[in-house]
C-alpha cells in the first residue's frame, strides 16, 4: 500500500516534521538513515490515523491530548492498530477509560505510560507483555488490578499514584523483579507482600492501619530501602519490621500511633526516621 514510511505519514491528516529538534510539546518524528521511522511524538491532534499500523519499525510512540478513536465516534479503538514493534508507548491527557484486550499483542513493550487518561481498568491481556519493565499509571480512576499482572516477571517499576479508587495492590504479590512501587494518594488498605527485590515503597496518604507483612518486602536484596508510610491511619507496627533487610529510611509521621514502638531502635541500618513530634 505504501512504498516507504514517509509515504505512510503523508497519509496522516496532520503534518509530522521529521528529524527536527526534540520538543515534547509538539508533533514530530525521527527516522533512521534508511528512512524507517522509529519514533513519533503526536500532540494536540484530532485523531490517530489507522495507517500508523504500516510503520513496521516504529519503536517509540508518544501521544498527548489526541483522540484514539476513529472520527471521535469511539467505535474503533485505534490501539488495535498500533504496530507490534513498539517498545515504548506513552499516552497522556487523552481519554481512554478502558483498554481493549488487543493491548496484549504489543509483546515487545518495555515501557507503558498512561497518565491522566481516565483509565478505570486494565485488560487481562496485560499479562502477555512479557518484556515490560516499567508500568506508569498515575492520575487515573483504577479500582483494581488484573490478576494476570503477576505474569510480568521482568517488571521493575510500577507507578499508581493518585488513583483514589484503588483499594488493593494484592495482585502484585509475588512479583520477583519489582524494585520500586509508587502508590501514593490511593485508598490502599494493606501492604503488598512477597516482593523480594523491593527497594523503594511509596505509600503515603492511603488507608493503611498496620504494616503486617512488611518483613516480606525486599528480603533478597542488600540495597538500602526507603519506605514511606506517612499520612495513613497506622495504629500499630509489627515487631517483624526489624527483619527488613537494610532499612535505611522510614516515614511514619501523621498516623495514629500512640507510642513509638521500642523495637524501632533495634533497626541498626535505620538512618532516617520521620515521626510525629510528640514522640
> How much is the pLDDT for 67?
84
* Contact call for residues 54 and 29 (beta carbons, < 8 A): no
Residue 70 lies in a domain: yes
**CA torsion sign, 81 to 84 to 86 to 87?**
positive
- Using pLDDT thresholds of 50, 70 and 90, give the confidence band for residue 75: very low
Instruction: At 101, list the grid cell.
Output: 484486550
User: Would you call 267 helix, strand, or coil by DSSP?
Assistant: coil
Residue 215 lies in a domain: no
Q: What percent of the chain has pLDDT above 90? A: 84
Q: Which of 125, 138, 73, 127 minimizes the C-alpha distance to 99?
A: 125
Average pLDDT for 27-37: 94
Average pLDDT for 75-88: 82
Q: Select the more confidently predicted residue: 13 or 225.
A: 225
* Contact call for residues 44 and 23 (beta carbons, < 8 A): no
Total of domains in the chain: 1
CA angle 67, 69, 75 (to 5 degrees): 155
Residue 6 lies in a domain: yes
59: containing domain? 1-95
Residue 196 lies in a domain: no
Residue 151 lies in a domain: no
Residue 52 lies in a domain: yes
Q: pTM of the full predicted structure?
A: 0.94
Residue 183 has pLDDT above 70, yes or no: yes
Residue 12 lies in a domain: yes
> How much is the pLDDT for 70?
53
Residue 72 has pLDDT above 60, yes or no: no
- Using pLDDT thresholds of 50, 70 and 90, give the confidence band for residue 241: very high
Residue 238 lies in a domain: no
DSSP state of 246: T
Task: Report how far residue 252's alpha carbon sits from residue 231's, in angstroms, rounded to the nearest whole number.
Answer: 8
Task: Report how far residue 163's alpha carbon sits from residue 121's, in angstroms, rounded to the nearest whole number.
Answer: 11
User: Would you call 144 helix, strand, or coil by DSSP?
Assistant: coil
Amino acid at each position: 500500500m505504501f512504498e516507504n514510511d514517509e509515504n505512510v505519514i503523508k497519509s496522516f491528516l496532520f503534518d509530522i516534521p521529521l528529524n527536527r529538534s526534540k520538543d515534547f510539546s509538539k508533533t514530530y518524528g525521527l527516522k533512521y538513515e534508511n528512512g524507517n521511522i522509529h519514533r513519533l511524538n503526536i500532540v494536540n491532534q484530532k485523531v490517530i490515523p489507522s495507517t500508523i499500523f504500516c510503520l513496521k519499525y516504529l519503536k517509540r510512540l508518544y501521544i498527548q491530548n489526541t483522540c484514539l478513536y476513529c472520527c471521535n465516534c469511539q467505535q474503533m479503538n485505534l490501539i488495535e492498530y498500533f504496530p507490534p514493534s513498539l517498545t515504548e508507548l506513552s499516552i497522556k491527557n487523552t481519554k481512554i477509560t478502558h483498554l481493549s484486550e488487543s493491548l496484549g499483542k504489543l509483546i515487545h513493550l518495555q515501557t507503558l505510560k498512561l497518565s491522566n487518561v481516565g483509565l478505570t481498568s486494565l485488560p487481562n491481556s496485560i499479562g502477555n507483555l512479557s518484556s515490560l519493565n516499567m508500568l506508569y499509571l498515575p492520575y487515573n480512576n483504577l479500582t483494581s488490578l488484573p490478576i494476570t499482572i503477576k505474569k510480568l516477571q521482568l517488571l521493575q517499576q510500577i507507578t499508581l499514584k493518585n488513583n483514589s479508587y484503588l483499594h488493593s495492590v494484592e495482585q502484585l504479590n509475588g512479583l520477583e523483579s519489582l524494585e520500586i512501587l509508587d502508590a501514593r494518594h490511593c485508598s490502599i488498605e494493606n501492604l503488598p507482600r512477597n516482593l523480594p527485590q523491593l527497594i523503594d515503597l511509596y505509600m503515603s496518604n492511603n488507608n493503611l492501619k498496620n504494616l503486617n507483612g512488611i518483613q516480606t518486602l525486599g528480603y533478597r536484596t542488600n540495597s538500602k530501602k526507603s519506605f514511606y508510610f506517612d499520612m495513613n491511619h497506622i495504629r500499630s507496627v509489627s515487631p517483624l519490621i526489624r527483619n527488613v533487610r537494610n532499612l535505611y529510611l522510614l516515614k511514619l509521621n501523621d498516623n495514629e500511633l500512640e507510642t513509638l514502638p521500642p523495637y524501632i531502635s533495634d533497626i541498626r541500618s535505620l538512618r532516617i526516621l520521620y515521626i510525629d513530634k510528640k514522640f
